[in-house]
Structure 1
Amino acid sequence: MTTRDLVLVALFTAIIVVLGLIPPITLGFIPVPITAQSMGVMLAGCIIGAKRGALAYVLFVLLVAAGLPVLSGGRGGLAIIQGPTGGFILGWIVATYVTGLIAERLVKDGQNEIRQFAAFFIASVVGGIVVLYAIGMPWVSMTTGAPLTDVATGSLAFIPGDLLKAAIAALAARAVLIGYPLLPHRA
């Protein structure tokens, strides 16, 4: 790991913290709020890649576990991780890694902008939505005692916003790729 990699990990951890300054939107029928921090999964994975993006979230989760109020709404601490949102918080690490891995595989130099955008969007949807939900929803079900089908049904309300986040992340990743490519090149 180079100094540049460490700086990018720290920078994206800071970006994730800043995304937490946007107040969460709570829905009455599910104990997990809508936050901008989940878009960080997509941004980190698509812009700095699988390993560095996942490390940015490892650092972020360590800050949360240490009790720093870095989550949306100024929350932090082990109690939050043990609660209904804990699966999503821990799942951010895996989801970022998967998002980055897909982006590294699909985005190629010389592709036209539509293909690159589509590749970033696919990476964001698969990693930042599908993988994250696959980890987070069972955790919500386990911690609340609600049936998984009810949790999955309630989570449908998040899909439109998450697709919008994926589109924003794909646009941002494409813009960064043009100006200052950070996504690791695959041999």
Structure 2
Amino acid sequence: MTDTTPEVSSDGSPGAERSPSRWRFTPTDLALVAAFAALIAALTYVGAVPVGGAGVPITLQTLAVMLAGCLLGPVRGAAAALLYLAIGFAGLPVFAGHTGGPGVLSEPSVGYLLSFPFAAALGGFLVAHVARSARTRALPVFLCSIAASILVIHPFGIVGLMVRLDLSFDEALKIDALYYVGDLLKTTVVALVVAEVHRAFPQLLARRTARR
């Protein structure tokens, strides 16, 4: 038989029940996932700046993706990114350049797009568990977010550039390097926003679990 436990903080605070559990999405969780998927889509169109000749513009997508992960945690953050990708691949024009549909998989930007759920999950995990006692400070959040970008988004992006443009690793790396300045600026914004939100809403990363 399945029963539900009270909210258990994902930061492992004293008194939290530590029994084996699985994630259970509540209506609030679903609303947050949908809202952040919409935010990713909306910020795709804001400030898109063409860079080089690779056809991968600088957008605010990654800012929204890392906000989702660092604010909602790994599960809900990844779910928001997955929902965004799902509606885009289904045909809604939510990707850069008002594009959508499975044809985007053949574009040079595909590696960056496919990295989003993994980057949100890693950033969310680092904020929720590694920086759990310091997530109300901007610097620890900045380090969590930039780590997810460096370890996930950029490697995925480089592979996508190599495959779709038939580039060598060095050539793809040079193109990818053009996005680091923008990433540093976006990560700074993420860190400032996330730290303030977690200071105001310390239970935002709390979750409900179901236990057998």
Taking structure 2 as the reference length, the TM-score comes to: 0.80
1:180 corresponds in structure 2 to 201
Q: How many residues align?
A: 182
Structure 2 gaps of 5+ residues are 1-24, 208-212
1:72 corresponds in structure 2 to 96
Whether contact under 8 Å (2:127, 2:135) holds in the other structure is no
Structure 1 gaps of 5+ residues are none
> SS at the partner of 2:55?
strand
> SS at the partner of 2:178?
helix
1:153 corresponds in structure 2 to 174
Which protein has greater RCO, CA pairs closer than 8 Å, 6+ apart? 2
**Structure index of larger Rg:** 2
State how far apart, in whole Å, the 2-side matches of 1:84 and 1:48 are.
Answer: 29
Structure 1 ranges of 4+ moved more than 4 A:
none
1:163 corresponds in structure 2 to 184
After TM superposition, the structure 1 = structure 2 runs for residues 20-169 of structure 1, keeping only pairs within 5 Å, are 20-109=44-133, 111=134, 113=136, 116-169=137-190
Evaluate the alpha carbon distance shift between residue 146 and residue 105 of structure 1 in structure 2; reply closer, same or farther with a 3 A threshold: same
Identical amino acids, percent of aligned pairs = 31
Whether contact under 8 Å (2:41, 2:95) holds in the other structure is yes
Whether contact under 8 Å (2:45, 2:59) holds in the other structure is no
Taking structure 1 as the reference length, the TM-score comes to: 0.90
Greater shift, 83-92 or 21-30, is seen at: 21-30
The amino acid that maps onto 2:144 is A
RMSD (CA atoms): 1.7
The amino acid that maps onto 1:76 is G
Whether contact under 8 Å (2:69, 2:78) holds in the other structure is yes
Whether contact under 8 Å (1:107, 1:120) holds in the other structure is yes
Shift of 1:184: 3.6
State how far apart, in whole Å, the 2-side matches of 1:147 and 1:112 are.
Answer: 39
Greater shift, 59-68 or 121-130, is seen at: 121-130
The amino acid that maps onto 1:164 is L
State how far apart, in whole Å, the 2-side matches of 1:184 and 1:49 are.
Answer: 9
Shift of 1:179: 1.8
State how far apart, in whole Å, the 2-side matches of 1:75 and 1:90 are.
Answer: 15
Instruction: Name the structure with the higher helix share.
Output: 1
2:41 corresponds in structure 1 to 17
Deviations 1:71-104 (A, max 9, x none): 2331111111232111111111111111111111
State how far apart, in whole Å, the 1-side matches of 2:206 and 2:190 are.
Answer: 17
Whether contact under 8 Å (1:19, 1:72) holds in the other structure is no
The amino acid that maps onto 1:12 is F
